[in-house]
Chain A
Amino acid sequence: MSDIDTAQAPIPAASQRRHFVRSVLTNPTGLVASLALLIVIASALFAPLLAPNDPSAVQIFKVNAVAGDGYLLGGDGSGRDIWSRLVHGGRNTFLGALITVVIAASIGVTAGLFAGFYGRKLDLVARWIADGIMALPALIVLLAFYQALGASIYLSMAVFGVMLSPGFFRLTRNLVNGVKHELYIDAARVSGLSDLRIITRHILLSVRAPMVIQTSIVAGIAIVVQSGLEFLGLGDPSTPTWGGMLQDAFSNIYVSPQAILWPGLAITATVASLVLLANAIRDRMQQGGAQVRAPKALPLAVSEPLPQAAPDLLLDVRDLVVAYPANDGWREVVKGVSLSLRRGEVLGLVGESGSGKSQTAFAILGLLSPGGRVLSGSILFDGIDLGKSSEDEVRALRGKRIAYVPQEPMANLDPAFRIGFQLVEPMMTVLGISRAEATRRALKLLARVKLPDPERVFRAYPHEISGGMAQRVLIAGAVACSPDLLIADEPTTALDVTVQAEVLDLLRDLQKEFNMAVMLVTHNFGVVADSCDRVAVMKDGRIVEINAVADLFAAPAHDYTRMLLDSVLEDGETRTYRPPVTEGMRA
Chain B
Amino acid sequence: MIRYLLKRVTSGIALLCLVSTVTFMMVFGATGNVARNILGENATADQVTALNSRLGLDRPLMVQFGDWVSHAVRGDLGPSWTMSESVASALASRLPVTLSMVTIAVAMMALLSAMLGIAAAVRGGWADRAIQVVSVAGFAMPNFWLGLLLVLTFSVKLGLLPATGYVSFSASPSAWAASLVLPVTSLVLSGIASASQQIRGAVIDALKQDYVRTLRARGVSPRSVLYRHALRNAMPAALTVLSVQFIALLGGAAVIERVFAIPGMGSLTVSAALIGDVPVLMGVVVTLIIVVVLVNILIDFLNAWANPKVRMS
Contact = CB atoms under 8 A, between A and B. Distances in A.
Interface of A: 128, 132, 134-141, 143-148, 220, 224, 227-228, 231-234, 246, 249-250, 253-254, 257, 260, 263-264, 267-272, 274-276, 279, 362, 365, 367, 370, 395-396, 398-400, 402-404, 406, 408, 411-417, 422, 425-426, 429-430, 461, 463-464, 474, 477-478, 480-481, 584
Contacts of A234: 273-274
Nearest to A143: B273
A140 B269 contact: yes
Interface string B128-168: 00000001110111101100110110001100000000000
Contacts of B307: 415-416
A228 B255 contact: yes
A264 B140 CA distance: 10
A151 to B, nearest CB: 11
> Counting chain A CB atoms within 10 Å of each CB, which of B148, B157, B208 scores highest?
B148
B26 interface: yes
Contact of A137 (B29, B148, B232, B251): B251
Interface in B171-220: 208-211, 213-220
Nearest to B296: A135
A323 B193 CA distance: 35
A264 B149 CA distance: 9
A463 B308 contact: yes
Contacts of B215: 414, 422, 426
B144 A231 contact: yes
B156 A147 contact: no
A144 B281 contact: yes
A415 B26 CA distance: 47
A316 to B, nearest CB: 20
Interface in B294-309: 296, 306-309
B221 interface: yes
Given A228-B142, A260-B148, A412-B210, A136 B247 contact: yes
Contact of B148 (A134, A264, A584): A264
Nearest to A421: B228
Contact of A429 (B211, B220, B235, B273): B220
Contact of A260 (B149, B210, B270): B149
Given A232-B258, A275-B139, A139 B252 contact: yes
A412 B208 CA distance: 11
Contacts of A400: 219
B292 to A, nearest CB: 5
Contact of A461 (B209, B235, B308): B308
Interface string B12-25: 00010011000100
B276 interface: yes
> Counting chain B CB atoms within 10 Å of each CB, which of A146, A257, A270 scores highest?
A146
B35 interface: no
Interface string B264-283: 01100110011010100110
A140 B285 contact: yes
B221 A429 contact: yes
Contacts of A429: 219-221, 224
Contact of B284 (A140, A254, A267, A481): A140
A254 to B, nearest CB: 6
A32 to B, nearest CB: 12
A268 B219 CA distance: 49
A253 B140 CA distance: 22
B30 interface: yes
B149 to A, nearest CB: 7
Contact of B255 (A136, A139, A145, A272): A139
A220 B140 contact: yes
Interface residues on B, range: 35 or more
Contacts of B284: 140, 144
Contact of A414 (B208, B211, B252, B273): B211
Nearest to A139: B251
A104 B146 CA distance: 27
A413 to B, nearest CB: 6
Interface in B101-151: 135-137, 139-142, 144-145, 148-149, 151
11 contacts: A132-B18, A136-B19, A144-B281, A231-B258, A233-B274, A250-B259, A264-B142, A264-B149, A267-B142, A272-B139, A403-B218
A144 B273 contact: yes
A433 to B, nearest CB: 13
A156 to B, nearest CB: 11
B288 interface: yes
> Counting chain A CB atoms within 10 Å of each CB, which of B156, B296, B308 scores highest?
B308
Contacts of A257: 152, 156-157
B219 A395 contact: yes
A463 B211 CA distance: 13
Contacts of A270: 140
B97 interface: no
A227 B152 CA distance: 19
Nearest to A221: B139
Contacts of A138: 251
Contacts of A426: 215, 218-220
B88 interface: no
A416 B258 contact: no
A299 B142 CA distance: 48
Contact of A430 (B219, B244, B269, B309): B219
A492 B136 CA distance: 48
B95 interface: no
Contact of B15 (A132, A146, A246, A254): A132
Nearest to A274: B140
A109 B72 CA distance: 37
Nearest to B209: A411
B259 A412 contact: no
A148 B27 contact: yes
Given A128-B11, A480-B218, 4 more contacts: A140-B250, A144-B23, A224-B142, A429-B220
A268 B140 contact: yes
Given A145-B27, A257-B156, A365 B274 contact: no
Given A128-B11, A268-B141, A412 B255 contact: no
A253 B136 contact: no
A399 B218 contact: yes
B233 interface: yes
Contacts of A422: 215
Contacts of A137: 247-248, 250-251, 288, 292
Contact of A275 (B136, B214, B288): B136
B108 to A, nearest CB: 19
Contacts of A254: 156
Given A275-B139, A367-B216, A461-B308, A148 B29 contact: yes
Contacts of B214: 404, 406, 412-413, 474, 477
A399 B224 contact: no
A272 B137 CA distance: 7
Contact of A276 (B136, B211, B216, B276): B136
A395 B248 CA distance: 44
Contacts of B19: 132, 136
B77 interface: no
Nearest to A480: B218
B285 A246 contact: no
B30 A148 contact: yes
A398 B308 CA distance: 28
Nearest to A258: B152
B140 A461 contact: no
B94 interface: no
B254 interface: yes
A135 B141 CA distance: 23
B216 A398 contact: yes
> Counting chain B CB atoms within 10 Å of each CB, which of A145, A396, A481 scores highest?
A145
B34 interface: yes
B30 to A, nearest CB: 4
Contacts of A253: 148, 151-152, 156
Contact of A232 (B136, B157, B248, B255): B255
